[in-house]
């Protein structure tokens, strides 16, 4: 059910784009994301910081896309989101000496500090990669290609999360190896 909730807005965005255009799809994405956040809030009774940031960026970049009738804004939203995540994780880790992943997930996972450090670094690299990749596709490909990339490009985060799961599994209690 959770995976359906996560993909709900992008699937509706893709469908609206295929049947109409980028502007209708942007409006659909905005409404679907508000509905998605309402559903998440109804289930969990809270929204994570990432949910709030995503919602704000979709509403701001979506509104700019619609008001200025300029598709570049919605196409660059993922680049801004991923870049902001990379910067936040890096500044927290290297500037403030805090590991946000451990702060966010430490109550759910008991892992050695070296593992948390590698996970945080992996997320920074992943976010920089995704920001650059989306920026490249947004800048050098058609809107149609970008929309297709948004849908089929979801394989990249899924692969990253699966790989991360295998890495974490080795370090959980009962798993092989307790060091990074």
pTM of the prediction?
Answer: 0.83
Render pLDDT for 119-141 as a digit per residue (tens, 0 to 9): 999 999 999 999 999 999 999 99
More confident residue, 152 or 13: 13
**Other residues' Cβ atoms within 10 Å of the Cβ of residue 132:** 14
**Other residues' Cβ atoms within 10 Å of the Cβ of residue 85:** 20
Secondary structure of 98-150 in HEC code, one letter for each residue = CCHHHHHHCCCCCCCHHHHHHHHHHHHHHHHHHHHHHHHHHHHCCHHHHHHHH
pLDDT band for 178, please (50, 70, 90 cuts): very low
Confidence at residue 112, expressed as pLDDT on a 0 to 100 scale: 84
Confidence at residue 24, expressed as pLDDT on a 0 to 100 scale: 98
Given a contact cutoff of 8 angstroms between Cβ atoms, the answer to whether 118 and 180 are in contact is yes
Nearest Cα to Cα of residue 78 among 133, 159, 2, 148: 133
Render pLDDT for 30-69 as a digit per residue (tens, 0 to 9): 999 999 999 999 988 998 888 898 899 999 999 999 999 9
Render pLDDT for 159-175 as a digit per residue (tens, 0 to 9): 998 998 898 888 776 54
């Amino acid at each position: 059910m959770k995976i359906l909730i996560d993909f709900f807005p992008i699937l509706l965005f893709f469908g609206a784009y295929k049947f109409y255009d980028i502007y209708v799809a942007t409006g659909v994405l905005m409404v679907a994301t508000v509905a998605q956040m309402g559903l998440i809030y109804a289930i969990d009774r809270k929204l994570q910081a990432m949910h709030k940031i995503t919602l704000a960026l979709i509403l701001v970049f979506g509104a700019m896309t619609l008001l200025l009738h300029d598709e570049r804004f919605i196409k660059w939203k993922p680049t801004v989101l991923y870049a902001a995540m990379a910067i936040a994780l890096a500044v927290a880790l290297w500037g403030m000496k805090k590991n946000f992943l451990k702060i966010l997930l430490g109550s759910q996972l008991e892992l050695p500090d070296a593992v948390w450090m590698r996970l945080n670094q992996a997320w920074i690299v992943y976010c920089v990669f995704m920001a650059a990749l989306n920026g490249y596709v947004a800048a050098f490909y058609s809107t149609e290609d970008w929309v297709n990339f948004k849908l089929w490009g979801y394989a990249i985060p899924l692969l990253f999360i699966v790989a991360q799961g295998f890495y974490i599994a080795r370090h959980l209690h009962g798993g092989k190896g307790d060091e990074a």
